[in-house]
Amino acid sequence: MLSLERVSLVDVSHTKRETERPANEKPITRYVWWVDYINASDDSNEGLKWHTTEFPMESNNQFEWKLSMYSPGLSLYIENVRTNEEVAINIEASFSITNALNEILYTKSIVVSGKISESQSYGFTEFIKTEEVLDFLIDDRFKILCELRDLEKEIFVSDSIYANFMKNDHFNDIEIIINDYAFRANKLVLAANSPVFERIFSHNMKESLSKQIEIKEMDREVFEEVIRFMYLKKVNLRNLSVRLLIAANRYEMEALKSICEKELITAMTSANVISFLTLADQHNSNNLKRNCFSHIMINFKVLVETTDYEELSVNCPRIILELNREIAKKCTISFPKD
């Protein structure tokens, strides 16, 4: 018989690992579940279900999960308890049994992809044979570690004539400094992909005369994808769409901005449309703004009563005026004849 003894969220160690995570490593959500192993031959709990408390995902707070286990045996699932059915997800969920040193002794994993509904479960009808758990007991208990990690969402645009220069430092003639980290690059590649860099290197600006440029208000992981797009015409959006759109607008990279716009349009909901509209207005994202206007008009009766809409009206009356003009274009008013 299996019984739930303790459910615990990894607090201090989880926070420490995420804080020390390298910039290019994807966030990982880790959750630990301790289970008592009493007597596997006792089938009195047949059909019983145990589950953990709910826990959020590190990289996407629109989703919350819990672990569920069924008897007899070890059927193990991860279940979605809060979701946004309009947003697609692409994650790997791994279930592991670890020892006292947190070393993985046994593991299985699945991929969860696409738009998912609430209470949908993913896992294994037989995660491990009941008798095999005996090899992994720690004081008559075993520890299950669940890890959720985002899978890369790479978008390929076209072949790039600069791909061969990506790892070749021989032709690099400029350093881009971001938060004490130096990106080695080629001025020609930067100028060919960004009108902003072209202007910098074409005029007698101090940056064009120097072999270093320091960029402020930019995250290293964001600029890493900007550089990658310049050289390879590929971008791994992960959870960077908003920050990449801001960077693409800053360096006038319309192709990259368009990719980010499409990703945000796909992710648009009534919960985030006002923030997306503000983002679009601040960073010259006309396609995203048009789609925000369309979403607001369709859901106007609901959105007009929200705090977000009220704050937008107070802080950005110009956007509201634009929205009213779009609404007016769709309206036809007719008066009854006498």
Q: Which two tokens stand for residue 20?
A: 């020390």
* Closest CA relative to residue 43, chosen from 71, 75, 76: 71
Q: Are 100 and 81 in contact (CB under 8 A)?
A: no
Query: CA–CA distance from 259 to each of 138, 218, 237, 263 (Å)?
Result: 50, 19, 9, 6
* pTM of this structure: 0.58
Residues 63-107: pLDDT tens digits?
888 898 876 667 888 888 876 665 667 788 889 998 877 788 888
Which percentage of the chain shows pLDDT scores above 90? 27
Average pLDDT over residues 268-296: 92
Give the CA count within 13 Å in the CB-facing half-sphere of 318: 3
Phi, then psi, of 7 in degrees rounded to 5:
-115, 130
Domains in the chain (CATH in brackets) are 2-151 (2.60.210.10), 152-257 (3.30.710.10), 268-338 (1.25.40.420)
What lies within 8 Å, CB to CB, of 207 at 6+ separation is 200, 201, 213
Give the CA count within 13 Å in the CB-facing half-sphere of 208: 12
Q: Using CA atoms in the order 314, 315, 318, 321, what is the torsion angle rounded to 10 degrees?
A: -30
3-state secondary structure of 214: strand
Run of H or E residues at 193: helix 187-193
Which DSSP category does 216 fall into?
-
Residues 192-228: pLDDT tens digits?
999 999 998 887 666 666 788 899 999 999 999 999 9
